Structure 1
Amino acid sequence: MTLQARLVVTRPRFRLDVTLEVAAGQVVALLGPNGAGKSTALRALAGLTALSEGHITLDGRPLHTLPPERRPIGMVFQDYLLFPHMSALDNVAFGPRCHGASTAEARGTAADWLRRVGLAEHVGTRPRQLSGGQAQRVALARALAVGPRLLLLDEPLAALDAHTRLEIRSRLRRHLADFDGATVLVTHDPLDAMVLADMLVVVEDGAVVQRGTPAEVARRPRTDYVARLVGLNLYRGVAAGRKVKVGETLLSVTESLEGPAFVAFAPSAVALYRTRPDGSPRNLWQARVEGVERHGDSVRVHLDGPITAFADVTPAAVADLGLPPGQRIWAAVKATETHAYPA
């Protein structure tokens, strides 16, 4: 592993305790809600926040004993923090100059990086004249121009509008694929994490609650927060064969398990009926409509009952069912639509 770290930061009402391992050329995303400790972890890696305990090792050498300016790190801040009085070229050249390069060498390096990120024609442009996407690319070029072994990205796409974000996310993925060091990305946006990262580390309340590839995390969420991110209903119960007891509700599943287990299914797998359906589907319960909201091209129905759930139905189904808040409704999920796995 290029980066190995245990980051412990203790404050009066908060404690961060996160371990990280990142291989060369790998992108690891720290994903979590606001206040989870993601940015604190990133600042600790950069040396901008002191560790209470732990260590940071980069390429086999201790990093936590070094001041920020001596760490081989490039960092892209959420607001980019470009120098407003400098051109794009001089912004990117600033790092190499600080590392001892001559003005000519630094500017040559900067021009090369601006060319790589597609901004060769903007070398003389100042930050206020750049679009959000262009400013993000200048900030990335500035971070990479110092030849870092560790690249830190703090919500690098958060300041962009939706259309620009789509384009820049694709560009950023290509640039990260060419970087041979370790990259740690902080984001609260699951799409950014899923597209940009090779591995996800989910942080809640200062602790790691789940880690794995994007596919693993999306398929097997282990907390309500992760389940909401990936759009699944998630329950924890006790399995006995192909049955999982969640509270007082017994759910039929396709997998055979024993002991503590999770059950997950998509909101689109939930069918709604005004009256008890014929045939008695395996997983059937009566619920109360808590509310409805638009959700893309469908309508998301919030259900309360023996188990709470989200159901995605068509607008036509809403018109047919009515679904005012408080209405009693039958909900059903086929066993084949569920996914059970050990807790």
Structure 2
Amino acid sequence: MSLRGRLIVTRPAFRLDLTLEVAPGEVVALLGPNGAGKTTALRALAGLTAMSEGQISLDGQPLHVLAAEQRPIGMVFQDYLLFPHLSALDNVAFGPRCQGVAKAEARRTAAALLERVGLAGHAAAKPRQLSGGQAQRVALARALAVRPRLLLLDEPLAALDAHTRLEIRSELRRHLADFDGVTVLVTHDPLDAMVLADRLIVIEHGAIVQQGAPGEVARRPRTDYVARLVGLNLYRGVADGTGVKVGELLLHSSEHLDGAAFVAFPPAAVALYRTRPDGSPRNLWRARIDGIERHGDNVRVHLDGPIAAFADITPAAVADLDLTPGQQIWASVKATETHAYPA
């Protein structure tokens, strides 16, 4: 069971051109900013959005020539779209019944799937009687009930509160690990992508800008969007040995490179000083504070200067340094915390 395709969707002000290859049992997450084309790609795979050009094959058989209802897919929508007048059991049994399966057999299949997702005791409940997490599990069971070869998930955890999301994310990962078909997931949440997916495909402006294993993408972002997603300061420059020239600033790292390169470091690695520090660290520059905001348990300081950067420091450090917007300050990063890689 493998998926291969080139998805091309052309609109007046937008063009999606995406090449996909997904292996059997693999979970691929499509990530990208709003308007990048993630949902358009998912809907093209489902047959809900017509392609302008391209083709899709599943198990070597053409998929793009089939109408949506003929495609061997299961889909979980962001809002789940459960039938409000049907019980959880009948929602799950709906797909097999549409495939011509006898009512009794369809209900047996549905009951087994509800037990698998931990909802055997809620088979008679209507969607309005279910919590968000329970509704998500019913939607997943309904998608699996048609025995799909391709499973499509559109922001499957977006409608959940933070506590429920944590629990359901772990459960969903377990269910996806048991699915031997192809799974394509759309999400804007980097944690969902990192936990659920075997591989990330980052889309911007309708095209792939980066793909790879979650850890590799997180360590080596290649666009500003990906850097913000994984919480890194990212710059592009020219490397000469262990230094990377970014504009007028030379940033040193522990890697040895030559030519076009990216250099990245986490905001937590940035140290701030009111006066020039003794010893003059190798990566040191004068900056102006452009903004200060709360960021989790820390404070994020926006710096402007030869490079724009974020620095994460403690509230106590903000008070000790008496930081205010517009203030001139010194910033530094250790070379050991600055990572360079080919552009």
TM-score range, shorter chain: over 0.9
Which residue of the partner structure matches residue 328 of structure 1? 328
> AA paired with 1:280?
S
Structure 2: segments with no counterpart, 5+ residues: none
The count of corresponding residues between Structure 1 and Structure 2 is 343
Structure 1 consecutive aligned stretches of length 4 or more whose deviation exceeds 3 Å: none
Distance 1:338 1:252 in 2: 7
Residue pairs, 1:115-264, within 5 angstroms? 115-264=115-264
SS in 2 for 1:235: strand
Which residue of the partner structure matches residue 108 of structure 1? 108
Which residue of the partner structure matches residue 65 of structure 2? 65
The CA deviation at 1:219 is 0.1
Residue pairs, 1:311-326, within 5 angstroms? 311-326=311-326
Structure 1: segments with no counterpart, 5+ residues: none
Distance 1:150 1:160 in 2: 24
Distance 2:53 2:236 in 1: 33
Distance 1:270 1:138 in 2: 46
SS in 1 for 2:180: coil
Report % sequence identity.
81
Deviations 1:159-214 (A, max 9, x none): 00000000000000000000000000000000000000000000111111000000
The CA deviation at 1:152 is 0.0
Deviations 1:29-77 (A, max 9, x none): 0011111100000000000001111111101111000001111000000
> AA paired with 2:286?
Q
The CA deviation at 1:19 is 1.1
Q: TM-score, normalised by structure 2?
A: 0.99
Deviations 1:294-331 (A, max 9, x none): 11221111000000100011111100111110000000
The CA deviation at 1:282 is 0.3
Which residue of the partner structure matches residue 7 of structure 1? 7
Distance 1:153 1:88 in 2: 19
Residue pairs, 1:271-286, within 5 angstroms? 271-286=271-286
The CA deviation at 1:127 is 0.3
Distance 1:171 1:313 in 2: 35
The CA deviation at 1:20 is 1.1
SS in 1 for 2:260: strand
Mean Cα displacement is larger for which, 302-311 or 246-255? 246-255
Deviations 1:255-284 (A, max 9, x none): 111111000001111110000111111010
